[in-house]
Amino acid sequence: MIVIKTEEFIEYLVSLSANMTVYAPLKQRDQTVFDILKNGDVIQLDYGMTMLSPTRFLFPPRETIFNAENMVKESSNSYIITAKEISPGLLPNKQVIAGIHPHDMHAVLVLDKVFLSGGFVDEAYRCRRENTVIVVMNQTQVWDTCFSRSMGTGPFFNLTEGCDLILTWLGRELLAEPVSESGEDMIKSIKSRKANSMDMAAKDEAESRTASLFKKEFNTNELPELLMRNQDHVIWRMIAEDRCLGCTNCTMVCPTCFCYNTEDENSINLSSTRRARYWASCQELNFAKVHGGNFRASRAARLRQFVTHKLSTWVEQFGCFGCVGCGRCMYWCPTNIDLVDIAKTIAGDVGI
Amino acid sequence: MSMLTPRTAAVIGVKKETNDVSTYVFRLNGDTPFDFKAGQFNMLGFHGIGEAPISFSSNLLDDNGFAHTIRFVGNVTEIIRSLKSGDNIQVRGPYGTGWPIELLSRRDVVIVAGGIGMAPLRPVVLKLFDGKTDDRFHILYGSRTPGDILYKDEIKEWKSKMGSRVLVAVDEESDDMGLVDVVGVVTTLIKKVDVDFKESICLLCGPEIMMRFVARELIIKGAAQSNIYVSLERRMYCGVGQCGHCQIGAKFVCKDGPVFRYSDIKRFSDTML
């Protein structure tokens, strides 16, 4: 465990960005945004909430599944297109995500379960994940909607797997704990000193100070069962019909949402096709539509799907909550629909 | 290659079933070995159009062939309507679980199908005729009109072998009532079946609203919820539990289903079961 000067680490990231893509929290106007680090950018490691999570550099909003060169055959009443040759979409070389918060790192671990260990391996995700070095930045700021402490995903990252390096902000210095070979390699090339007991004490102090800043608390004990018993609770209809605009913001900013649609793009003479996938939202009207009907035609059903999936059925599917407590969904909801409030209301109503 | 990249198959036979349903036999190009279980499905599609999940309507045929019985109701299936022998199609699969074939020996089996729901059950019926010597199975088939009945030749053959253990109901009468036993909904056929429902395995496929009433009738007759199996249909883009569209509560219809125990899936909202 070592200590490095904050500006030395930032200089190191800048030097890395000459040879590979480095994603970092950058100051853009009055926000912090995870983006590609370029010359002249201001890196802000002690940041609060970012609107979009850096998980999108592992599961991008839109990507090519394959490109196909086509043979086109005119049939009786249509054109039948079949592939002459298929080539996969482009995948990245080595990339770095620097400064990811612990709850977003937990979101990466959730996506790992969906795309790598759910029975089928998604090649694009696997390739990105294996080629990405991840530096976790322990959280020292807390915003009103954040409840990662209650979800067990923050404010500090206390696992020693999944990422490569864990940083703790000690003001002008950073405590750096490598947890993988890539992490070890990283700190070798930065000027550093050995961490002493004062540094460790400063980290513990920072953790308990940050933990004391949380305003949003949430008891997740028996939460999955509670929501399953209350699938017909009146609150779904009340909140959905009064306040849900169906805008899909909640699912677009959620770091664990994994749903996607596919879409084919054809060249004008049909000689080539690009099949792409792009983020989908369970809040879209047609998300569960089939021929002859829509299994979630009401906004109430769609709101219930979002909330019960994150806080209940996800546990049965993947052994963890689908919510990491970042608070983005309720922050970016135009009418402040709050899944914690919904769960608390249900718990209060049935007397838990 | 990614599992989202399809393989190419060719049509090697077409049989018209009704005005808007045909059965197609496909084979993967390049002599690729292929195998699947009754109840599983393929993603069938075309570049430039998209894909749709379709259950197998046969067991593995000679030379690695496989059949899908398809109703022409959407973008992909309307293109399939125009296919002739030799035409190509893109295929991903097989996906999903299958019917619990291993449970069917030495038990009474009640198969209840509605409309196009006969297609995913046909491989089970063929297996039962093939392997089951005690004839302890019943087939109840509901259809909108006599003209909508699938596999008419086979049903005639099944009826001649099995007598009243193969029953057909239609909602609307017409001139050709040759195969029809009852005018009415398929649940009325359950009363005509003489088995101990408590010990039976029941396999259901059809519109969800039909399966709802069939399952209830079977439970009233004594069938255990855990012995009733249903095959469900949902919107799907991936087939491998990742695009999220087919989720019902904690279940992915594509990889945990499409065949479920009734008791496993009924506990979630957003079904008609």
For B155-214, how does the pLDDT look when each residue is reduced to its tens digit (9 = 90+)?
Answer: 999 999 988 899 999 999 998 999 999 999 999 999 999 999 999 999 999 999 999 999
User: Is residue A16 over pLDDT 60?
Assistant: yes
Give per-residue pLDDT as tens, A41-61. Answer: 999 999 999 999 999 999 999
> Does residue A155 share a domain with residue A38?
yes
Looking at chain A, which residue has its C-alpha nearest residue B241? Answer: A118
Written as one string, the DSSP assignment of chain B is --TTSPEEEEEEEEEEEETTEEEEEEEETTS------TT-EEEEEETTTEEEEEE--SS--GGG-EEEEEE--SHHHHHHHT--TT-EEEEEEEES----GGG-TTS-EEEEEEGGGHHHHHHHHHHHHHH-SS--EEEEEEESSGGG-SSHHHHHHHHHHHGGGEEEEESS--S--TT-SEES-THHHHTT--S-GGG-EEEEES-HHHHHHHHHHHHHTT--GGGEEEE-----SSSSS-S-TTEETTEETTTT-SEEEHHHHTTSSSS--
A77 — pLDDT class (breaks 50, 70, 90): low
State whether residue A76 sits within 8 Å of chain B by CB.
yes
Considering the domain boundaries, does residue A252 fall inside one? yes
Looking at the structure, tell me whether residues A302 and A162 fall in a common domain. Answer: no
Residue A217 included in any domain: no
Whether residues A140 and A231 share a domain: the answer is no
- B273: in domain: no
For the residues B216-244, what does the mean pLDDT come to? 97
Whether residues B268 and A313 touch (CB distance < 8 A) is answered with: yes
Percentage with pLDDT > 70 across chain A: 98
Three-state SS for chain A is: CEEEEHHHHHHHHHHHCCCCEEEEEEEECCEEEEEECCCCCCECCCCCCCCCCHHHHCCCCEEEEEEEEEEEEECCCCEEEEEEEEEECCCCCCEEEEEECHHHHHHHHHHHHHHCCCCCCCHHHHHHHHCEEEEEECCCCCCCCCCHHHHCCCCCCCCCCCCCEEEEEECCEEEEEECCHHHHHHHHCCCCEECCHHHHHHHHHHHHHHHCCCCCCCCCCCHHHHHHHCCCCHHHHHHHHHHCCCCCHHHHHCCCCCCEEEEEEECCCCCEEEEEEEECCCCCCCCCEECCEECCCCHHHHHHHHHHHHHHHHHHHHCCCCCCCCCHHHHHCCCCCCHHHHHHHHHHHCCC
> Tell me, what CATH number does B169's domain have?
3.40.50.80
**pLDDT, position B1:** 67
Indicate the average pLDDT of chain B.
94
Q: How many CA atoms lie within 13 A of A313 on its CB side?
A: 22
Q: Which residues of A touch B51 (CB under 8 A)?
A: 262
The answer on pLDDT for A80 being more than 90 is no
pLDDT at A76 (0 to 100): 66
Q: How many domains does chain A have?
A: 2
Total domains in the fold of chain B: 2
Chain A residue with CA closest to B9: the answer is: A82
Shortest CB distance from A81 goes to which of B46, B249, B250?
B46
More confident residue, B136 or A20: A20
| Residue of A115, A260, A288 with shortest CB distance to B270 | A288
Q: What's the pLDDT score for residue A351?
A: 58
Comparing C-alpha atoms, which of B48, B43, B39 is closest to residue B111? B39
Same domain, yes or no, for A21 and A161? yes
Vertex A290 angle, CA A289 and A295, to 5°: 50
Nearest to B242 among A70, A115, A301 (CB): A115
Residue B46 domain flag: yes
Average pLDDT, chain A: 94
State the pLDDT at residue A39.
Answer: 87
**Which CATH number belongs to the domain containing residue B51 in this structure?**
2.40.30.10
Looking at the fold, whether A253 and A188 belong to one and the same domain comes out as no
Whether residue A303 lies inside any domain: the answer is: yes
- Among candidates B88, B241, B245 on the partner chain, residue whose Cβ is nearest the Cβ of A119: B241
Rg of chain B (C-alpha set): 18
Claim to verify: residue B58 and residue B138 sit in the same structural domain? no
Tell me the mean pLDDT in the region A258-279. 94
Q: What is the pLDDT of residue B122?
A: 98
Do A94 and A188 belong together in one domain? yes
Residues B109, B130: one domain?
A: yes
Full residue range of the structural domain in which residue A60 is found: 2-211
Residues from chain A contacting residue B209 (CB–CB below 8 Å): none
Distance (Å, whole) CA B97 – CA B136: 24
Domain with B188 in it: 101-265
Average pLDDT over residues A77-90: 78
- Cβ of residue A122 closer than 8 Å to a chain B Cβ: yes
* Confidence band of B132 (pLDDT split at 50, 70, 90): low
Q: Does B245 touch chain A (CB under 8 A)?
A: yes
**Which chain B residues have a beta carbon less than 8 Å from that of A232?**
269
Mean pLDDT of A314-320: 96
Closest by alpha carbon to B46, among B84, B8, B90?
B90
Q: Of B95, B122, B140, which residue is a domain's last? A: B95
Question: What ipTM was assigned to the predicted interfaces of this complex?
Answer: 0.93
Domain boundary among B57, B78, B95: B95
Bridge partners, residue A88, by sequence = A66
Residues of chain A above pLDDT 90, percent: 87
Answer whether B270 touches A (CB < 8 Å). Answer: yes
Q: What is the mean pLDDT of residues A338-351?
A: 89
Do B110 and B218 touch, CB atoms closer than 8 A? yes
Mean pLDDT to the nearest integer, A152-167: 95
The model's pLDDT over A111-146, given as tens digits with 9 standing for 90+, comes to 999 999 989 999 999 999 999 999 999 999 999 999
Least confident window among A67-71, A108-112, A248-252, B257-261: A67-71
- Name, of B13-22, B126-135, B174-183, the range with top average pLDDT: B13-22
* List of chain B residues whose C-beta atoms are within 8 Å of the C-beta of residue A83: 6, 8, 47, 90
Residues A6 and A81 in one domain: yes
Residues of B in contact with A291 (CB under 8 A): 73-74
**The pLDDT of residue A352 is above 60:** no
What is the pLDDT at residue B133?
56
List C-alpha distances in Å: A127 to A59, A116, A123, B98. 11, 11, 6, 31
Nearest residue to A43 via CA among A159, A128, A161, A167: A167
Residue A70, C-beta contacts closer than 8 angstroms, at least 6 positions apart: A81, A82, A83, A84, A270, A271, A272, A273, B47, B48
Chain A CA closest to residue B87: A80
Residues A65 and A204 in one domain: yes
Rounded to whole angstroms, the maximal C-alpha distance in chain A is 80
The shortest CB-CB distance from A282 to any of B79, B207, B244 is to B244
Do residues A81 and A101 both lie within one domain? yes
Instruction: Report if residue B13 sits inside a domain.
Output: yes
Please check whether residue A218 lies inside any domain of the structure.
no
Return d(Cα A16, Cα A133) in angstroms, integer: 12
